[in-house]
Structure 1
Amino acid sequence: MTTHRLAFSKLDTAKFISHLDLMRTFQRAFLRADIPIKHTEGFHPHAFVSIPLPLSVGYSSVCEVLECQILGENPDLERVPERMNAVLPAGIEVKRCYEAQRAVKELAYVNYIVTLEYEAGAPFGADTAIQELLSRESLVVRKRSKKAKSGFTEVDLIPLIHKATVEERRDSVTLDLILRAQNPGLNPELIVSAIRSECPEAAPDFALFHRRSVLDEGMQVWE
C-alpha cells in the first residue's frame, strides 16, 4: 500500500504540544475531517501514523512530516491540507499531502536556527567565542543515556556538526546550524549546554529553537 506524507508546520503555542499528544491530535483530525486512513489490527486498533523525526517540546518548525496511508482508490491528496487544517488546532498547518518517494533513512541533516537571548544585551565578543568553540577539532560533552549503567555517556559534538554560522545582534546571538539528523543525531540543546559550560561569558538567559529544513546527504531538501 502507498505511504502518504503530510508536510506541516508547528508554530506559536502549538510548539508546546508533546510528540504523543501531537500524534493523538492528528489521529482525531483524520476522523473529524472524514479522511479514512489505515489502522492497526487487533482488539484496540489505532490509526497508523508516524513522524520520522519527532520534534522536542518547545521547538517550532516549518518542515515537519507525518506518514500515513490514506485509504480509497485515487484519494484526492490536493484537498487533504484544506480538510485537515479546518479541524487542527491553531499553530499546526498542513502544507501539502503527497506520496512518499524517498526512504526515511535518506534523511541525513536538519537545519536549526537557535536564538540565544540576553536580558542585558549580547555580551561583547559572544559571537566570536561561540564560533571558536564550534570550530574546535573536538568538543566532548556529557549527556543522559538510558543504555549506560551510569545514566550518562560522552559524545563528541564536532563530527555531528556539518555547518555552524554565528551572527551577533544587539540583544541576541543567532546560530544557523546544520546537524546530523540520525544514527546518531544531534540535539541542538547539547550545543547550548556546551556554550554554557565552555563559554560561560556567552551563556544565554534564554534559548529558542526552530527547525527550518530537513536535508539529505547531498544537502537537498528531503521529502
Structure 2
Amino acid sequence: MPDQRIQFVKTGRACYISHLDLMRTFQRAFLRAGIHIRHTEGFNPHAYVSIPLPLSVGFSSQCEILEFGLPEGADMEAVPWRLTRVLPEGITVTKCYDAERPYKELCYVNYIITLEYDAGAPVGAENTIRALLGRESLVVSKKSKKAKSGQTQVDLIPLIQRVDYEGRRDSIVMDTILRAQNPGLNPALIVAAIREQCPEMAPDYVSYHRKQVLDRDLRPYE
C-alpha cells in the first residue's frame, strides 16, 4: 500500500484534463514544488503516483484521491499548499494524510447528475425517470475491451444504491450513490438509459459532479 494520499478538487477547465495527462501533471507538480516522493525502479525511473478511481473527462469533483510515497519525516502539512501553487487552475489540493485504509474498502461514489433542458423540464420528467430507475432490472450496453463484439451488457439497478431527486423549472438534479468498483457504475450510463428508454425526457445538457467517496457503510472513505 502507498504511504500517503492527497485529496484534491478538480473543477473548471481542469475537468477536461485526461487521466493520463493528470498523472503527468502531478508528477511535474511534485518536482516543481520540491517535494521528494518515491520513484519507480529500472532504467527510466519516474515519480510514482496513482489515482485509484479515475474520473471521466468533463466530470468535476471535490474528492479526488491520489496515492504516492513521501520519505520518512517529511512534512505532510505543507504538501497541499506547495502543490496547489504549482498546479493548473481548477486543481486544488485540500489535504494530505497517511494511507491507512486499503483501496478495496472504497465501495461507493456520490455523484450529482444535473439534467438541463433549454425549454424547461418536460412535464412528468421526474416521475418518468423515477419509474425507469425503480425497475427491477435495467440492462444497457456499454463498451468493453474484453468482449469480442466491443460491447457488453450491464444491469444498472444492482449498481445503484440510492437516488434522490430535485425537480427545478429547467433541470432535474439527481443525487446518486453508485457502486465504485468491482464493478463500478459510470453515471453517464444512467443518462444513456434515459435517452434510450425515455427519449422525450432526454436532456439537452448534462453535468456530472463527484461529491464524495464512501465505504460500504456509506461513511466518507479516507
What does the per-residue CA deviation read over 1:46-94, in whole Å, with 9 as the maximum and x for residues that have no partner? 11100010000000000000000012x3111001111111111110000
Code of the residue aligned with 2:23 in structure 1: it is: M
Map of 1:58 onto structure 2: 58
* Aligned counterparts of 2:163 and 2:85: Cα–Cα separation in 1: 38
1:4 aligns with 2:7: no
How many equivalent pairs are there? 222
The structural deviation recorded for 1:22 is 0.4
Identity of aligned residues (%): 64
Does residue 172 of structure 1 match 2:157? no
Cα distance in 2 between the residues matched to 1:68 and 1:211: 22
TM-score, normalised to structure 2's length? Answer: 0.98
Specify the alignment match of 1:39 in structure 2.
Answer: 39
| Amino acid in structure 2 at the alignment position of 1:193 | A
Amino acid of the residue matched to residue 197 of structure 2? E
1:215 counterpart = 2:214: yes
Q: How do 1:134-173 and structure 2 match up within 5 A?
A: 134-173=133-172
- Hey, what's the Cα distance between the residues in 2 that align with 1:2 and 1:176? 31
Residue matched to 1:112: 111
SS at match of 2:50: coil
C-alpha displacement at 1:2, in angstroms?
Answer: 5.9
Give the gaps of 5 or more residues in structure 1: none
8 Å contact from structure 1 (residues 61, 210) kept in 2: yes
Counterpart Cα distance in 2 of 1:211 and 1:93: 15
Per-residue CA shift, 1:172-222, capped at 9, x if unaligned? 111111000000000000000000011111100111000000000000000
Deviations 1:146-170 (A, max 9, x none): 1111111111000000001122101
Equivalent in the alignment of 2:79: 80
Q: Which AA in structure 1 matches 2:190?
A: I
Gaps in structure 2 of 5+ consecutive residues = none
Write the distance in 2 (CA, Å) between the matches of 1:8 and 1:28: 16
Deviating 4+ runs (over 4 angstroms): none
CA distance in 1, matches of 2:133, 2:148: 29
Q: Which residue of 2 aligns with 1:48?
A: 48
Three-state SS of the structure 2 residue aligned to 1:196 is helix
**Aligned twin of 1:92:** 91
- Is the CA contact (8 Å cut-off) linking 1:130 and 1:166 kept in structure 2? no
Distance of 1:61 and 1:111 partners within structure 2? 10
Name the SS of the counterpart of 1:209 in structure 2.
strand
**Which AA in structure 2 matches 1:94?**
V
SS of equivalent to 1:173: strand
Does structure 2 retain, via aligned residues, the 8 Å contact 1:85–1:94? yes
For residues 118-164 of structure 1, give each alpha carbon's deviation from its aligned partner in whole angstroms, at most 9, with x where no partner exists. Answer: 11111111011001111000000011111111111111000000001
Deviations 1:82-108 (A, max 9, x none): 111111111000001110110000000
Do the aligned partners of 1:131 and 1:165 also contact (CA within 8 Å) in 2?
no
Which residue of structure 1 lines up, in the alignment, with residue 14 of structure 2?
14
In the alignment, residue 191 of structure 1 is paired with which amino acid?
I
Structural RMSD (CA): 0.9
1:108/1:182 contact within 8 Å kept: yes
